[in-house]
Structure 1
Amino acid sequence: MDDFYFKKKFKWIPCNEFKNVKYIDKGGFGIVYKAIWLNNDGDEEVILKCHNDLSVNLNEFLNEYRIISGLKDIHHQNLIHCDFHDCNILNHDESKIYISDLGLCQPVKSFLKKYYIYGVMPFMAPEILRGKSYIPVNDMFNFSMIPWEFTSRIPPFNNIAHDLHLSLGICKGERPEIIENTPQCYVDLMKKCWYEDPLKRPSSKEVYDIIEKWIFFPYKKEIEEIDKELKCNVMSL
């Protein structure tokens, strides 16, 4: 079962190839079942996840995983993007996404004594609007607007002028309104990323791990229990 998840590969499997489908639990993004997969290489116990009919469809959810993966790679090189927003995300095909416009991308240390302000205002962190130095978690505020766009289908603050009033509003805690029926775990992640105090925001690596668990390791506790059950069954044979 671990191998199935770590491979992180998707393929179409007809529903008639599953038997003994049993309900496990229901979460924010859907319902989880366990079942026996009638695989040609031998029957295998697997987890089935039935996603709800959300404004965030599966393709967009996987895209978000690829986006945070790219941002994580940038931060891993001790770099800050500094101008991360929706128009800098290029969808090459169904499986590849690139983060572009790296002209403002700079090493972390280069910002220790510089106080430049640039970016797309709705995506800019309040501390940057106040003239503070850039640090990697500034990019995480920018990132928080991406999942919000996925749920709203519109850019953040698209109905108001991007002027001094919006800048002051962001600094005072104004954020886009949460879209109705957005799963709570998704809401929690957005709010963590746009937190007022930058030091309380998660890193790109932490967000990557969270989204990875949502996609590839849903209901880890139940999966571990199934693994134990399988081992007990093997030992009793």
Structure 2
Amino acid sequence: MTDLFIFIPTSEYICENKVIDDFISYTHSKRNAKMEFVPYEKFKDVEFITEGGFSKIYKATWIDGPRDWSAPPPYRIGKMTVALKELSNSSNISAKELNELMVFYNYATNYNSKNVYTCHDHFNYINKYFGITQHSNTQNFMIITKYYESGDLRNHITNEFYNISWFKKLIKLQCIVNGLNNMHDANIIHRDYHSGNILVATGETPIISDLGISKSAIEPFDDKDNEIYGIIPYVAPEVLQGRKYTKASDIYSFGMIMWELMTGRRPFWDKSHDTDLIIQICDGLRPPIITNAPEGYIELMKECWHLDPNERPTASNLLQKVKTIFYNEIKNIINKNPTKIMESPNIGPVTTNNPGAIYKSRPLSEMIKSALSTISLKSQNITQNITSKFGN
């Protein structure tokens, strides 16, 4: 049984890139979350799906599939549909660019369990990472994860909004906050938490994905790597004010996901995502409350997007509150009085967002600097006006 947990440097693992080989070897030095380098020819039917801020996503068939590391000896489970995330300009990959795999590895090793070996779907509501390959033409490296035909939560809400009862919404919400709570328990901050980074797995189970810019909550803040990425409506106001990400920043993003589930629309879909919106969010602007929800839902959502991060619930506290709302909704169903989705022109998916609404993660630091400069200038003007009116 011991060889289950020891890295065996066969040619199958070698990609002749020291950064990759050292990382793969490292993951085989401990019990959980073993990864592998997979030659590109092991994939067929590679199909481009979409392009994000820093990568391209492909769908592919992994001919042999991943290993089941729990078996003595490990064996491949057979053909599997996977997603290949091609990292832009990664042919000379650095250890920093392996952050996404390292975050999952650290997350999985936080749990002393063999389950991470035997699950080939998700692990504790976090998408499963299998390893890495290298594109035969571009030579860029590609991260291997499970592929889900249902896509992400954003598309699921858009396509199925009126078919998702509040009972089902609350089940999904529990899965989402479970994943977030598990991440925070492992001292990991997602830092780019939005509905496009939540995939819909088997049984319509939401799972968290895209850990590319996630970081440890206990690592010191790195001033050399202070670029802020994200989608403006989901970014917490303190981050938009230049402060560092915390677990509370993820909670704010969760509040926006709650609003999206409630209304069927993306937050601030009708506004340009520019410096003006950043200033308004920092001044307290939040999406409007335009529909009903189960008892306690709206209040909890407002707690999540509180301007003061210290006033937001922790993920653990959030999970308990969501469960309470869910159990109350079960009582409503038993009493034949379930919460109904209102029919209103103010809710439900819209066919066209504001042309300036950008729902892809992108660098935001320059926009934030511009917004903060405008805020500072306004503050100076107010001070000067008061001084000129009332004197020193």
TM-score category by the smaller chain? 0.5 to 0.7
Q: Which residue of 1 aligns with 2:173?
A: 64
Question: Which residue of 2 is the match for residue 81 of structure 1?
Answer: 190
Task: Report deviation, 1:217.
Answer: 6.9
Instruction: State the distance in 2 between where 1:217 and 1:184 align.
Output: 8
Which whole-Å CA distance do the structure 2 matches of 1:164 and 1:171 have between them?
Answer: 11
Q: Distance in 2 between matches of 1:130 and 1:81?
A: 18
Which ranges of structure 1 fall in alignment gaps of 5 or more residues? 1-52, 221-237
2:312 aligned partner, one-letter code: R
Write the letter of the residue equivalent to 1:62. Answer: I
Q: What amino acid maps onto 1:76 in structure 2?
A: D
Confirm or deny that 1:160 pairs with 2:271: yes
What CA distance in whole angstroms lies between the structure 1 residues aligned with 2:298 and 2:219?
A: 33
Task: Tell me, in whole angstroms, the C-alpha distance in 1 between the residues paired with 2:246 and 2:328.
Answer: 30
SS of aligned partner of 1:98: strand
Please say if residues 157 and 176 of structure 1, whose CA atoms lie closer than 8 Å, have aligned partners that are also in contact: yes
Looking at structure 1, the residues matched to 294 and 237 of structure 2 have their Cα atoms a distance apart, in angstroms, of 26
Provide the rounded CA distance (Å) in 2 between the counterparts of 1:180 and 1:71. 26
Assess if the C-alpha contact under 8 Å between 2:177 and 2:318 holds in 1: yes
User: In terms of mean alpha carbon deviation, does 95-104 or 126-135 score higher?
Assistant: 95-104
Structure 1 residues 104-144: Cα deviation after superposition (integer angstroms, max 9, x where no partner): 11001335354432111000000000110111010000000
Quick one: distance in 1 between partners of 2:315 and 2:179? 9
Kindly tell me: are residues 162 and 103 of structure 1, through their superposed partners in 2, closer, same or farther at Cα, counting changes over 3 Å?
A: same
Structure 2 residue runs of 5 or longer lacking an equivalent are: 1-161, 332-392
In terms of Rg, which structure is larger? Answer: 2
- Residue matched to 2:291: 180
1:147 aligns with 2:227: no
Equivalent residue, structure 1, for 2:309? 198
Count residues with an aligned counterpart.
168
Shift of 1:148: 0.5
RMSD of aligned residue pairs (Cα, Å): 2.3
Match of 2:380 in 1: none
The aligned counterpart of 2:236 is 125
Amino acid at match of 1:91: V
Shift of 1:216: 4.0
Q: What residue in structure 2 maps to residue 100 of structure 1? A: 209
> Which one has more relative contact order, counting CA pairs under 8 Å at least 6 apart?
1
Whose helix fraction is larger, Structure 1's or Structure 2's?
1
> Secondary structure in 1 aligned to 2:276?
helix
> 2 CA distance for matches of 1:184 and 1:164?
35
